[in-house]
Amino acid sequence: MNPHTYSRFISFEGLDFSGKTTQIHRLIIQLARHGISAEMLREPGGTPISEAIRKMLLDNRNSEMTRRSETLLFSSARAQLVEQVLVPRLEGGETIIADRYVDSTTAYQGYGRQMDGHFIRQLNAFATGGLMPFRTFFLDVSVDESLRRRRSAGRGTDRMEGTDIAFMHRVRDGFHEIAAANPGRFLIVNAERPEEKIAAEIWGEVSRIWQIG
C-alpha cells in the first residue's frame, strides 16, 4: 500500500488538552461550508473492537498493565480500525480526519515509555499496512500548558493521563523529533494561541493541499 495514496486522509497529534478535537470539529464545519463531508475517527477507537480496547487502555484499574502490553493493545486497536474502516472508506473516496494515529504510538510508547524505536516502527508498519496520513497537524503546547488546561477543565485523569511530568516531556520531545524526520508530512502548529488563529492556519494548509477555492 502506497502511504501517500489517499490524499483525503489527515491526522492531528499532540499532548492531551492541546486542542486537537476542537480544531478537528472546526475544520469539519469549514469543509462542510465548501461542500466536503469529512468524518472524524478517534484513536484508539472507531470500531466496536477498538473501542473495547480503548476502555481497557484508559481504565485506571488496569495499573498493572505493562508497557509491552500497552503498546500491543494500541496497535491492535489501530489494525482493526485500518482494515475495517479506514481503507474501505478511503477507497470509497471519503475524507477522514484522525484524532491521533500512528505517530502517537511512536511518541507515547516509543519516546514516553522508552520502548525500542526499531520495534515500534516495525509494529506501526504491521498494524497500518503502510497506510499513513497525507498531512499531520501537530498541535504543540508546553507540558505546563497541557497541565494547566487539565486543571482548568476540572476533569479526572485516565490511566494514560496519570503519567509523570518527565514522561510528558519525553512525549513532547518525541513529537518534535518525529516532525523533524517527516517535514513533508508534518506541520507544527503553535496551539497556545487563540482558537481562531490556530483554525486559520490549519485551514490555510488544508485548502492549499486540497485546492479548495
Tell me how far apart the alpha carbons of residues 106 and 169 are, in angstroms, rounded to a whole number.
Answer: 14
**pTM of the predicted structure, to 2 decimals:** 0.93
| CB 128 within 8 Å of CB 82 | yes
pLDDT over threshold 60, residue 30: yes
Domain borders along the chain are: 9-209
Greater confidence, 3 or 203? 203
Closest by Cα among 124, 108, 111 to 158: 108
The set of residues, in sequence order, having a beta carbon less than 8 Å from that of 78 and lying 6+ positions away, is: 43, 44, 50, 101, 102, 105, 127, 128
Largest pairwise CA distance in the chain: 52
Type and span of the H or E element at 136: strand 135-140
pLDDT at 153 over 60: yes
Cα 2 versus chain centre, distance: 20
What is the predicted pLDDT for the residue at 28?
A: 98
pLDDT digits (tens, 9 = 90+) for 38-56: 999 999 999 999 999 999 9
- Residue in this structure with the C-alpha cell 490549519, named with its chain if needed: 202
Q: Would you state the pLDDT for residue 10?
A: 98
Residue in the structure block whose three cell numbers are 497541557: 146
Residue 5: predicted pLDDT:
56
pLDDT recorded at residue 190: 98
The dihedral over CA atoms of 52, 58, 63, 67, expressed in degrees to the nearest 10, equals 90
pLDDT per position as a tens digit, 67-118: 999 999 999 999 999 999 999 999 999 999 999 999 999 999 999 999 999 9
Q: Does 161 score more than 70 pLDDT? A: no
CA 72 to chain centre: 17
Sign, Cα dihedral of 147, 149, 154, 155? negative
Residue 89: Cβ-neighbour burial (10 angstroms; 0-12, 13-18, 19+): middle
Mean pLDDT of 147-166: 82
Residue that has been written with the C-alpha cell 481497557 in this structure: 56
Q: What is residue 154's predicted lDDT score, i.e. its pLDDT?
A: 81
pLDDT in tens, 167-202: 999 999 999 999 999 999 999 999 999 999 999 999
With cut-offs at 50, 70 and 90, classify the pLDDT of residue 213. confident
- Domain spanning 9-209 has what CATH number? 3.40.50.300
